[in-house]
Structure 1
Amino acid sequence: MIGDSEPSPRSVQKTPGLSRPRKAKACQRCRTRKQRCEGPPNCQNCASANEECIPAERERMALYSVHYVESLEARISDPQHEATLAAGGMTLDQPSDAPSRHHSNPPIADTNGVSTPPSGADQLEMTFMAPIDNSNNIIYDLNILQPDENLFSVSGVANHDTGVDSIAPCDPAMPTHVLGMGSAPTFAEVSIHEGAVYFQIYFETIHPRYPFLNVEECSRGYQDWRMGVIFPSSTDAWGSYLIFAVGSLLSQAKLDGSTRQQHHNLMLHDQTILTDQSYKPLVRLQVLLLHVIHALHGESTPRVGHIIGVAMRFAVMKGFHRLVQDGTAETAIAIKAWWCIYMLDKVIAITLGIPPYPPEEWITTPAYVNGLEPRYIMPWSSDVPGATPGSTYNFNLSYYAHMCRIRQIHSKILSATQTMAPEDRADFIRDTRAAIDQWSQDGQMYGYSRPNTKGYASSLGLSHVAAISRVILYRLDPADMDSPHVDEKLEACCEFVGIFRALQKKRQIPKHWVDMLFTFQVGVAMVYIVYRWAVPTPRHVDRAIRDVASSLAIFADRSEKADVYRDCLDVLATAISGSSAPGTIDEESRREISGMGQQIIESGIAPNVASMLSEMSRVPGDG
């Protein structure tokens, strides 16, 4: 661990064992940007940028060992060490450089409420834990309890004729269950009402699209928690803790101090599972997937990219990409979990321009075959204010199966971008565009057959995914701005913006951080094309750019971290539309673009968009 209590910023001192972390002196801005800092309030970096200098807060478990990634990659590259997933009883392979599974001391210990990783080889096991970013607590307003009739249906039942015990409606006077880890300084208190709402939100919003959890096990977990069977120190409550955390994130417009502490503590309860060799790979992957869902609704590009990378490499290391359907329920869930991490990985890959991993030829796990899913009685339905007690849920996973197809097309596009010869590009675009159009037509038939469908699975939502696919299909080549593919790229961007703006106005989908990032990048691409063409902005393009600005303004109203993206696009759009000569940007605007663009690039963005921002911020003739 790096300590900065000494006067010199180069001073590094490692403290053996689990010592108390030292107080950091760098300000928040310098720590984020990894710059030298004299410490607040004398920070020269903040002064030169005319920014407020704010002391940094130490983020729990925000540091990772690079040895962890290197170890995983080494194991993945060696077929002899790849673990297979056996349906009869999955076991975890012990990394060769990890501590013994019979180690007498636990790999993680609480010291004054702060989980501090051991040094050396012990840290390899520790690094499966996703970071807790205290700044990622602004989430988006959404009327999340509106039913999406395409993904699930709810019907009342007269009695509880199932194996799930009925639960009486919540008594407001009942005590709150306290979720904690024994020595944690602040317990996360979740009332019965809150817990029920969090479960309801998760299973109505997330599960139909990413069904990697066992619904019956989650129902039993909720009942145990509801009846007080699960005590705070029990790791068997991991599903409830993480569903609470995700549900809390989705249900709050903003998080005040108490909610933020509750939310933070809930995310800490899975840590022992990620490092406990006695848990099956499927359980550990489910924990990682819940962290991915949580990160998608946060505000940190590096965090969501890192966690998805960890989850995907873990899945490959444990052989989830080579499953064989054997008819067992455990394997069926494992197959769903694999395709969930596959799809989530592609969401980030197409946004950041990351090559797909693993290669498609490695994957032999069969795709999910859409079929009739069982009906469930959700025990929390009795505790949700206004809900019908004893409601049965029938999940329709047609959307999930349909999305698996388009994510495979996305993987094909990403792979071709890295290896395709220029002379093959036209044929590839034609064939892939036909595949996207066919997928979209199949989706429209699926959507139109259900007139009450809203959100992602609606006709508009499926058109949105098809528009994203066309945007990433037409790769922008700065060296060939006269190519007809550039016109097609511009039209695809305009189409995407119009559809996303319509969805945003309907308030039918959660606002992911990745949605904001992708929309910003589309706006930059449109401005860049007009800039390079050196022509007045076409009317429909100008309207699309304004729609992007409006979308980013909505994100910025809910998230202060989106301000820089909104402001950067505003400057770009104003500079292009207000330029006295097409294809030029005034010096003042270039300076503004340079400052904001650098901050955005450092936060994580697609390489081609980073190049566009850099080019538009440079003074002509500077290279």
Structure 2
Amino acid sequence: MPSPTDTGPGAASRRKKKACRRCRHRKQRCDFEQPCHNCEAAGVECMPVIPDSMQSYPAGYVPALENHAAILEQTLNERFPGTALDHLDNVRTQYLGTPLPVMQDFEGQQPSGFDGLMGTSPESERMWQWQPPQTPTQLPSSMNAPMQIGSIGMHQASPPGFAPQATATAPRLIQNVSMTSHGVGPRSEGMDDIPTATAASFFRIYFQFIHPQYPFLSIRECGNWYTEWKTAPPHRPVTGWPAFFVKMIFAIGSLIQSKSDTAPRYQHQDLKSQAQSEDAIIRSTHSSPLIRLQAMLLSAMHALHSESTARISHISGAIIRFASLQGFHRLANLDDEESQMKIKAWSCAYILDRAVSMALDIPSSLADIYISTTLYTERVEPPCQSHMPWLDDVPPSEIPDVLPTLTTFTHTCKIRLIQSYCLHTMHAVPTEGGATPEWQDSMLVQIDNWATEIYSHSLIATEGYQSPLWLRLIEQLSRLALCRPSRLNINSKISDVALKAGCNACTTFRALQKKRQVAQPWLIVITQFQAGVTILYIIWARAIQIPPEADFAIRDCTSVLAILADRWQNAEVYRDCFEVLARAIPRCKRLGCLEREAREELVGLIERVNEVGVHRHVLTMLYEMGMGPEDEDMI
């Protein structure tokens, strides 16, 4: 018999428990234990859900900030007429000259978690944001106290294009608020808060995961920028382009680190907000086209490790357009350092555009017929160990620090050329699968020839982006881009090659994923989904039992998409769609025909997959598998 204490009105609420964070994210049934059964079976840490803390502020806090903004505008307008806008006339009339005693309550208070009234969302696509007052304690204790114009620049970054004229009366404003000769404002306070060890780890992550694939930055210059940032005194922080590049490397390193299993979410959201300044960079007339192209490529690296297909497609195309506008597609190899850096940057822009085109099956941004610049070829590079000072500021990593070489990069450039020609030819034919078998065989021979040189262009002892395994993955994805199964060729050699390539692509990336030495950019989600759907489509269209090699590949693809869905919210729809197919196809009562319930569930997921972004031919295969017998008769 229950005791009176167990049957009280508040007993139910006291006994109510919440599912752990992982079960809530994956929509699984949690047993509310610590650790729960699901997390224990998966071998991951079971983390409880922590309720969000509610912040409260004094009643006069918002009027005080409005008054503070009005004073700043009025002071700027007095010094530089026309600079301040006139959108706060009513606020000036209401607040200026009116003392606000509520500000006396702010002294000594620092609300935790407050990043500024006008702090922007990390998900915002705006390119530049004003930096607001960081805390209420930065406001003067009396609203009638005189405001020093120099103090404005100490706490607020300037918007793009704001460059006040130099006057003898405001040297601090010019030093702290105006844009530098490079077009980029001074380092924000968020960069000062990063410990040296954490900053060094961000640099190491960048040169482990990004530089081997896209070496458009000079290691020597990055080492100088890092040293300049590290040794800069607080009153004279690093400014200009060094500040921008350091900030972007911080943001990219933090983003990649935040997607690992055990990494903390250290300042990722704040650094991501600070990285949205491409618009001011591109418009800067004080910088060379090479620097602006490098800045755009850094923004592209950030987008590659985010989860927006549209953003990746947009920025990769914009980079090619900008580079061609500046003549990078018609460079002459003068064999000097500047010429080689330009060719490296152009080669990175080219292979990025081709990688996006292959993953989404969309036309390239600039056809090869218009390009005369030769992609980067391997040459003797000076040793870079002495130019990586961040390695001295971090403890040894579980992943061995391998000095970046450009051997793998040059070999990747070659396969991107082959992929570009394949896509251009296939997009030129009027119907899907209209390419002749002879032409496809000739392209397969070129891919085979490229694959025979993998071991001579990779580092055998590594397991990351310079390893043979990574190049094997690119090889299999190239075969998938060329060989597309359809109703017309389902029993041909093309479908056989596609089935084998899909299986190898799934098992290869799963092996790389277990090594934990490659990042998991967004395009991996799309290409792994493409490989898995190709396998299931061939099995469904041929109406056969699942072969053993395909069974292992399907399991690997299921695991890969499940892990990626834990990292990317938008990847959940790929995981759900693939799981529906993997569950429904083996259970078909009649081979080659999905059950009605599975088709209905699949059709709803197809629309969501299409919204997030998917390979065009994969979408065609999904629609075919989602059709019923009555729909097939109408084709």
So what's the TM-score if we normalise by structure 2? Answer: 0.67
Give the match for residue 224 of structure 1. Answer: 228
Give the match for residue 257 of structure 2. Answer: 251
Decide whether the 8 Å contact of 1:181 with 1:232 is kept in 2: no
Decide whether the 8 Å contact of 1:322 with 1:365 is kept in 2: yes
Higher deviation after alignment, 334-343 or 535-544: 535-544
Query: Counterparts of 2:327 and 2:290 in 1: how far apart (Å)?
Result: 11
Query: Counterparts of 1:561 and 1:571 in 2: how far apart (Å)?
Result: 17
Query: Counterparts of 1:373 and 1:259 in 2: how far apart (Å)?
Result: 35
Query: Counterparts of 2:487 and 2:558 in 1: how far apart (Å)?
Result: 24
Give the match's secondary structure for 2:244. Answer: helix
Question: Residue type matched to 1:310 in 2?
Answer: A
Q: CA deviation at 1:323?
A: 0.4
Q: CA deviation at 1:301?
A: 1.2
Query: Counterparts of 1:498 and 1:601 in 2: how far apart (Å)?
Result: 25
Please list the CA deviations of residues 430-459 of structure 1 after superposition, one character each: whole Å capped at 9, or x if unmatched: 111111111111112344xx5423222222
Give the match for residue 62 of structure 1. Answer: 125
Decide whether the 8 Å contact of 2:229 with 2:238 is kept in 1: no
Give the match for residue 446 of structure 2. Answer: 435
Give the match for residue 197 of structure 1. Answer: 201
Please list the CA deviations of residues 75-113 of structure 1 after superposition, one character each: whole Å capped at 9, or x if unmatched: xxxxxxxxxxxxxxxxxxxxxxxxxxxxxxxxx673858
> Which of residues 533, 546, 556 in structure 1 aligns to 2:542?
533
Instruction: Provide closer, same or farther for how the CA distance between residues 576 and 352 of structure 1 changes in structure 2, counting only shifts above 3 A.
Output: same
Query: Counterparts of 2:566 and 2:477 in 1: how far apart (Å)?
Result: 24
Higher deviation after alignment, 235-244 or 268-277: 268-277
Map of 1:365-514 to 2, 5 A cutoff? Answer: 365-376=373-384, 377=386, 378-386=388-396, 395-420=404-429, 425-447=436-458, 450-514=459-523
Map of 1:536-555 to 2, 5 A cutoff? Answer: 536-555=545-564
Give the match for residue 246 of structure 2. Answer: 240
Decide whether the 8 Å contact of 2:251 with 2:268 is kept in 1: no
Please list the CA deviations of residues 286-313 of structure 1 after superposition, one character each: whole Å capped at 9, or x if unmatched: 0111111111111121111111111111
Question: Residue type matched to 2:217 in 1?
Answer: L
Q: CA deviation at 1:598?
A: 0.8
Please list the CA deviations of residues 200-243 of structure 1 after superposition, one character each: whole Å capped at 9, or x if unmatched: 22223322321111222212111111111662664541111111
**Ranges in structure 1 where 5+ consecutive residues have no aligned partner:** 1-16, 21-56, 65-107, 115-124, 127-179
Query: Counterparts of 2:368 and 2:374 in 1: how far apart (Å)?
Result: 12
Query: Counterparts of 1:332 and 1:183 in 2: how far apart (Å)?
Result: 30
Map of 1:145-164 to 2, 5 A cutoff? Answer: none
Give the match's secondary structure for 1:457. Answer: coil
Question: Residue type matched to 2:390 in 1?
Answer: W
Q: CA deviation at 1:557?
A: 2.7
Decide whether the 8 Å contact of 2:320 with 2:350 is kept in 1: yes
Q: CA deviation at 1:61?
A: 4.9
Give the match's secondary structure for 1:476. Answer: coil
Q: CA deviation at 1:620?
A: 3.3
**Ranges in structure 2 where 5+ consecutive residues have no aligned partner:** 1-84, 89-119, 135-158, 161-183
Q: CA deviation at 1:261?
A: 3.0
Query: Counterparts of 2:447 and 2:265 in 1: how far apart (Å)?
Result: 45
Instruction: Provide closer, same or farther for how the CA distance between residues 394 and 19 of structure 1 changes in structure 2, counting only shifts above 3 A.
Output: farther
Give the match for residue 100 of structure 2. Answer: none
Decide whether the 8 Å contact of 1:523 with 1:569 is kept in 2: yes
Please list the CA deviations of residues 510-569 of structure 1 after superposition, one character each: whole Å capped at 9, or x if unmatched: 112111111111111221222222233333323322221121112123333322211111
Please list the CA deviations of residues 482-514 of structure 1 after superposition, one character each: whole Å capped at 9, or x if unmatched: 433222221221222222222222223211211
Give the match's secondary structure for 2:452. Answer: helix
Instruction: Provide closer, same or farther for how the CA distance between residues 503 and 61 of structure 1 changes in structure 2, counting only shifts above 3 A.
Output: closer
Give the match for residue 336 of structure 2. Answer: 328
Query: Counterparts of 1:237 and 1:63 in 2: how far apart (Å)?
Result: 20
Query: Counterparts of 1:595 and 1:361 in 2: how far apart (Å)?
Result: 41
Give the match for residue 590 of structure 2. Answer: 581
Map of 1:177-216 to 2, 5 A cutoff? Answer: 189-216=193-220
Give the match for residue 608 of structure 1. Answer: 617
Give the match's secondary structure for 2:193. Answer: strand
Q: CA deviation at 1:408?
A: 0.4
Instruction: Provide closer, same or farther for how the CA distance between residues 330 and 225 of structure 1 changes in structure 2, counting only shifts above 3 A.
Output: same
Is residue 2:130 matched to residue 1:110? yes
Q: CA deviation at 1:382?
A: 2.3
Query: Counterparts of 2:407 and 2:436 in 1: how far apart (Å)?
Result: 32
Give the match's secondary structure for 1:283. Answer: helix
Give the match for residue 283 of structure 2. Answer: 275
Decide whether the 8 Å contact of 2:536 with 2:581 is kept in 1: yes
Query: Counterparts of 2:602 and 2:307 in 1: how far apart (Å)?
Result: 21
Please list the CA deviations of residues 246-292 of structure 1 after superposition, one character each: whole Å capped at 9, or x if unmatched: 11122233787762333223313555322212211111110111111
Give the match for residue 339 of structure 1. Answer: 347
Query: Counterparts of 2:438 and 2:310 in 1: how far apart (Å)?
Result: 35
So what's the TM-score if we normalise by structure 1? Answer: 0.68
Q: CA deviation at 1:578?
A: 0.8
Decide whether the 8 Å contact of 2:363 with 2:427 is kept in 1: yes
Q: CA deviation at 1:614?
A: 2.3
Question: Residue type matched to 2:376 in 1?
Answer: Y
> Which of residues 337, 358, 376 in structure 1 aligns to 2:366?
358
Query: Counterparts of 2:219 and 2:281 in 1: how far apart (Å)?
Result: 19
Q: How many residues align?
A: 461
Query: Counterparts of 1:613 and 1:243 in 2: how far apart (Å)?
Result: 39
Please list the CA deviations of residues 572-613 of structure 1 after superposition, one character each: whole Å capped at 9, or x if unmatched: 111101111101111221222122211110111112111222
> Which of residues 552, 555, 577 in structure 2 aligns to 1:568?
577
Q: Which has the higher contact order (CA 8 A, sep 6+)?
A: 1
